Chains A and B, each alone.
Chain A
Amino acid sequence: MPTNEVIQGLGLDDYKFGFVTDSEPVFRTRPGLDAEIVRQISARKDEPEWMLKRRLKALGIYDAKPMPDWGGDLSELQETLDQTYFYVKPQEQMERSWDDVPENIKQTFERLGIPEAERKLLAGVGAQYDSEMVYHSLKEEWESKGVIFDSIEDGLRNHPELFRKHFGTVIPAADNKFAALNSAVWSGGSFVYIPPGVELETPLQAYFRVNQERLGQFERTLIIADEGSRAHYIEGCTAPVYSTDSFHSGVIEIIVNRDAFFRYTTIQNWSNNMYNLVTQRARVHRGAHMEWLDGNLGSKLTMKYPSCYLMEEGAHGEIMSIAYAGDGQHQDTGGKVIHVAPNTSSSIVSKSISKGTGRSSYRGLCKVYDGATNAKSNVECDALLINETSRTDTFPYIEIDERSASVGHEATVSKVGDEQLFYLMSRGMDEAEAMALIVRGFIEPIAKELPLEYAVELNRLIELEMEGSVG
């Protein structure tokens, strides 16, 4: 097995986004959660009555549902939540020009490479800081074609009918405890509408930054890809390193209408004091194609299972995920595919790397309803263990009520072996370089799907400070 020095040298634990920005919020709720806080959030957003009612109802559902007793260790979560700020408003209003964003917040995003990313031909960029989107912009070219890319609040304000028709239809508040929580306190996130036939040539990108200590971030994203459209949305997340735990619980709802194509890419790189419990689900209609590309690199505990509900004939869903669990981290990730209609197809490819005391779990569901004739699904999950203390588990649930369905499942666990390391070292690579090459090769099938700058970032993470580990 590789030496500790070399493993340190992989650099995956070296978190470069852990800095804190000195910024005063303009408003924040007191720590903890109750109906009054929900009312405060709703009032700040100047929401219609129906939304407040929904929030309060969701709060009731949240309170009634027990903490999940599966997945990761949530035994200390309640204690964290009692101390958490559920809403922190960073600035008076969202800006559409980068120049108008307050200096310190702007610098934070510049340090994270956001305006730079925008210059690289993105169709649109959103940036959330604590509980609110501080910046959102869409290129004129796409705006003129009817594309909507806005903060979720502006979506509700400016497109009330479209919003109300779809909000909460893919992930109802009662879906799970954290979906209920998000439905009660949601703040920030994007509202996206791609009109029929419009093909976005470059991605939309949203960036989520937590700055406030003991913050709960609850962004809510609603995306409607209308008939025959094509688009790609990228989400990235980071946070400072604090000694206390933070909490992130987003809800992402996507509707992919007939013959549309949508890809949602997440690169979650939270600091390792973050609970990251996210619900992501797409409803996929006739002949449409949905892809989740999910990279989970950071956090203390992530529980996240992007899912595709294949509702009509010929719908296709794909989930590709990479998880990295470093010392003390637990990545409980996977995917769900639900086949409701005939000739639907899906695939899940999940790769995890566990290092030190890190733990990764693959948790997946493949369900085929009676009548979903000729449904096809394939699941592949591969785990790579770096140390003897690293751990991985697989929980593949398969429920098939249709005889003509064909479902495949394959799982592998491998260790970085002495033979592999020696082979590479006998060609002149030092142990750290050899290790990095093995890890990169392992994730290559998914990494090659990532947008270039994220792939580069991933490689950098794997290689970082390699030199230092050798000398």
Chain B
Amino acid sequence: MNDAAILSVTGLRARVADEDLHILRGVDLTIRPGEIHAIMGPNGSGKSTLAKVVAGHPAYEATGGSVTFRGEDLLDMEPDERSQAGVFMAFQYPVEIPGVSIANFLRTSLQARLEDDEELDLFDFQELLMERMELLDMDPSFAQRPVNDGFSGGEKKRNEILQMAVLKPSLALMDETDSGLDIDALKIVAQGVNTLRQENPDMSVLLITHYQRILNYIIPDMVHVMFRGRIVESGGPEVAMELEARGYEEYRKAHVA
């Protein structure tokens, strides 16, 4: 039974809308409240696509299987509805929004969660933003910069984590958030995630990564290996260790045949 699952993916098949080739070819994945799952796998295996299909990217079309979030059919919801329900994706490639400050962007995101006749309290918002930036060791002036415009790779990733810290999701999909971060930045990001989990022990994380390193700071309950659009192996943290040592060669041999 998956009753307790926060995210339940079953037999998910997905492709780029209107194209024949399937990128996801039957993915099964269950995450329970408070769990951390890591997904590893070679470039092009479909990790980002899985995250984007869960978050509702319109470029992809699910052609089979199901995705439920707390028992609700996620595939039936718009991306903003999924966000408001508690799904958050930290993008592998965050998008630039020129002329829109991070503060304005987050304020609009929070305002969108309120009823039409409700106004976000600006003082409360300012306080929340400042507190979250402190948590992530960010300079307050960062919030005045236009979203991702002219940001370094590391700044973009930290901006994603700031958004997550402000929006407080119950399921965070983190797509290669650790790529391009130096060890100090990585520790700050990991600490941010861990603090959020302390605040909300039921928060679940799906962590997509190429490197075992981040898993020393955010300890996973499960590690999955994705290969050619399927999860081909699942286990504990030791799976990540083994991958680090051996690479994906054995999967290649097994799946090319």
Residues of chain A touching chain B, judged by Cβ–Cβ distance below 8 Å, are: 418-420, 422-431, 433-434, 437-438, 440-445, 467
Contact = CB atoms under 8 A, between A and B. Distances in A.
Given A427-B83, A429-B112, A433-B112, A422 B58 contact: yes
A428 B99 contact: no
Contacts of A444: 98-100
Given A433-B108, A437-B100, A444-B99, 12 more contacts: A418-B59, A420-B96, A420-B97, A426-B89, A427-B167, A428-B83, A429-B108, A438-B100, A440-B100, A441-B98, A442-B99, A445-B99
Contacts of B94: 423
Given A419-B95, A423-B95, A437-B105, A428 B100 contact: no
Nearest to A419: B95
B56 interface: yes
Given A422-B58, A440-B100, A444-B100, A428 B84 contact: yes
B213 interface: no
Nearest to A414: B98
A426 B58 contact: no
Contacts of A438: 97, 100
8 contacts: A418-B58, A425-B83, A426-B55, A429-B108, A429-B109, A437-B104, A442-B99, A444-B99
B109 A441 contact: no
Contact of A422 (B79, B84, B98, B109): B79
Count chain B CB atoms within 10 A of each CB in A430, A441, A445 and give the residue with the most.
Answer: A441
A430 B78 contact: yes
B252 interface: no
B97 A429 contact: no
A384 to B, nearest CB: 10
Interface of B: 55-59, 78-80, 82-84, 88-89, 91, 94-100, 104-106, 108-110, 112-113, 116, 146, 163, 167
A428 B79 CA distance: 7
A428 B80 contact: yes
A441 B100 contact: yes
Contacts of A467: 116
Contact of B99 (A419, A426, A443): A443
A425 B97 contact: no
A428 B109 contact: yes
Nearest to A441: B99
A30 B59 CA distance: 60
A426 B59 contact: no
Contacts of A424: 97, 105, 109
B163 A441 contact: no
Contacts of B99: 440-445
Contacts of B78: 425, 430-431
A437 B108 contact: yes
Q: In the complex, which of the residues A428, A440, A444 has the most CB atoms of chain B within 10 Å of its own CB atom?
A: A428
Nearest to A444: B99
A424 B104 CA distance: 12
B97 A437 contact: yes
Nearest to A438: B97
A196 to B, nearest CB: 39
Nearest to A417: B95
A426 B105 contact: no
A306 B19 CA distance: 50
B217 to A, nearest CB: 25
Contacts of B110: 428
B83 A426 contact: yes
A416 to B, nearest CB: 11
A441 B97 contact: yes
Given A425-B78, A426-B89, A429-B80, A420 B105 contact: no
Contacts of A431: 78, 80
Contacts of A418: 58-59
Nearest to A420: B95
B48 to A, nearest CB: 13
B146 A441 contact: yes
A3 to B, nearest CB: 11
A420 B96 CA distance: 7
Nearest to B163: A427
Nearest to A442: B99
Given A422-B57, A433-B112, A444-B100, A428 B95 contact: no
Contacts of B55: 426
A442 B113 CA distance: 24
Contacts of A420: 95-97
Contacts of B113: 428
Contacts of B109: 424, 427-429
B80 A442 contact: no
Given A422-B57, A426-B56, A442 B98 contact: yes
Listed residue (B96, B97, B116) with the most chain A CB atoms within 10 angstroms of its CB? B97
Contacts of A437: 97, 100, 104-105, 108
A275 B222 CA distance: 67
A437 B107 CA distance: 11
Chain B CB within 10 Å, residue with most, of A419, A426, A443: A426
